[in-house]
Amino acid sequence: MFCSTSHPTTAESPRHIMSTPIPTIIENPITLNLTPSYGALLIAIYFSCVLWGVNVFQTYVYYWNYPGDSWTTKILVAFLLIVDTAHKILVTKVPWSTLIQNWGNVAAIQAAPVEALHEAWVGSIIILIVQLYYLRRIGKFASHTRHARSWWLWLALAVLVGLAILQVPMTVVYCIDSISKNIIFNVPINLRIKRTGLIAAAVVDVFIAVAMILLLKDTDSADGQFKSKRTSKTIRRLTVIIVNTGLVTAVVTIVALILDKTASGTDFWTTIAQYPQCSIYFSTFLANLNARRYVGSDVGEGLSNIGDIHFASSPSVSQRNGDLETGLGVPGSRHIVLNQADSDVSRSEEDPEKYEEPMQTFESEVLKNI
C-alpha cells in the first residue's frame, strides 16, 4: 500500500498527470533591448579576443625568428603581452556581473562595472609604451638625416612625448572620478577627460606616421653616392610597413573619438573601437619587429655601385676579375654587359671596398632603426 500510494502504477500515471493543473506562465512585464549597450559590448569583446589571439601568435613568431634581439626588447614584448592579457580578462568580465550574476536585475544595468573603468588605464599603458617606442625610432632616424640639428623637430618630439605620457594620468583621473560617482554615463566632466586622452593619442599617431614617411624620404635621398638598389628597396618596404601600421592606429583612435562623441551615454558603440585599441597598438608593434627580416631581405643583391650586371651564363670569379681588369674578352670566356658608365666602372675598380663599406653601413643604420 505504501508503494501504491507514493508511486502510482504505469496505468495511473497519465491520469494523474492530466489532473494536475498547468501553472500559468507569468511574463516579465519589462522588456529591454540591450543591443546598443551590452550587445555592442559583446561585439567589442569578440574583436578584442580575436586580436589577442593574433598577438599571441605574433609573439611566438617574434621569439622564434629573432632570438638574437636584446633582452630589453624581449622583456618589453613579454611585458606588453602580459598587460594585453590582463586587459582582455578585464573586458571579458565587464558583462559578467550584469548578464550573469545579476540577471533580471534592471538596476544593475545602470551601475558602472568596475572592470569597464580599470580596462581603460590598463590599455593606456600599452598605447603609451608603443607610442614612445615609435617616437624613439623617429629620434634615431632623425639623427642620421639633415634634420639632426633641427631644433623644431626635437621640440616637436618633446611635446609629443608629453602628449603620449599625458594619456595615462588623464585616464586614471577619469577612472577615479567615475568610480567615486559609481556611474559612467552622462557625466560631462568624465567625457571631456576621456576625449582629451583620445585627442592626444590621435595627434601623436598622425605625427608619427607623417614624420616617419618624411624622414625615410630624406634617408632615401641622403648619401646617394653610397645607395644601392637594395637600400632603396629596403626603404620602400619600410615605408609601406610604417604607413600601414601608423595609419591603422591613427584611424582606430580617430574612429574611437568620433564614436565617443556621437554614441556616448547609454550606448556602448564606442567600445567597438576602444576595447581592441590597445591590442591593435601591440599588434602593429609586433608587426614592425617581425617585418625586419622581410625589410632587409635579398642581402646578396646590389652590393656595389655598378648597377645591374647581366651574364649570358654564370662565369667563374677568376673570369669575371680577368675581364674587368683587362677590359678584353678572353677566348672562350662569357660576354659581360655593364649597364653603367665607364666612369662608374673605373671608380668601382679603383677601390671597390671604399664604396661598398659606407653603403653597407648606411643600410645597416636603416635596418637598426626599424
pLDDT tens string, the chain, 370 residues long: the values are 444 444 444 445 555 555 556 566 666 666 777 777 788 889 999 999 999 999 999 999 999 999 999 999 999 999 999 999 999 999 998 888 777 777 777 766 766 677 888 888 999 999 999 999 999 988 888 887 777 788 888 898 999 999 999 888 888 888 887 776 655 554 555 667 778 888 888 899 888 888 888 877 776 555 454 455 556 666 777 777 777 777 888 888 888 888 877 776 557 788 888 899 999 999 999 998 998 887 766 544 433 333 333 333 444 444 444 443 333 343 443 333 334 334 443 444 444 444 444 444 444 555 555 5
68: phi then psi, degrees, rounded to nearest 5 = -90, 0
The C-alpha angle with vertex 59 and arms to 362 and 144, in degrees rounded to 5, equals 20
**pTM passes above 0.85:** no
**Treating both helix axes as pointing N-terminal to C-terminal, what angle do 277-290 and 40-65 enclose, rounded to 10 degrees?**
20
Q: How far apart are CA 281 and CA 126, in angstroms?
A: 7
Q: Is residue 131 within 8 Å of 208, Cβ to Cβ?
A: yes
Torsion sign, CA atoms 193, 194, 196, 201: positive
Q: Is residue 295 within 8 Å of 237, Cβ to Cβ?
A: yes
What is the SS3 string spanning 55-66? HHHHHHHHHHHC
In a 3-state reduction of DSSP, which class is residue 144? Answer: coil
Can you read off the three cell numbers belonging to residue 18?
A: 492530466
Can you read off the three cell numbers belonging to residue 156?
A: 616637436
Please count the residues of the chain: 370
DSSP state of 335: P
The reported pLDDT for the residue numbered 138 is 87
Contacts of 125 (CB under 8 A, 6+ apart): 83, 168, 278
The reported pLDDT for the residue numbered 73 is 93
Q: At 139, which amino acid appears?
A: G
Q: How far apart are CA 234 and CA 225, in angstroms?
A: 16
The reported pLDDT for the residue numbered 217 is 73
Nearest to 335 by CA among 349, 316, 305, 315: 315
Domains along the chain?
35-295 (1.20.1070), 310-368 (no CATH)
Nearest to 286 by CA among 47, 44, 64: 64
Q: Is residue 310 within 8 Å of 340, Cβ to Cβ?
A: no
Q: How many CB atoms lie within 10 A of CB 281?
A: 28
Element (H, E) at 310: strand 309-311
DSSP state of 187: -
What is the SS3 string spanning 9-42? CCCHHHHHHHHCCCCCCCCCCCCCCCHHHHHHHH
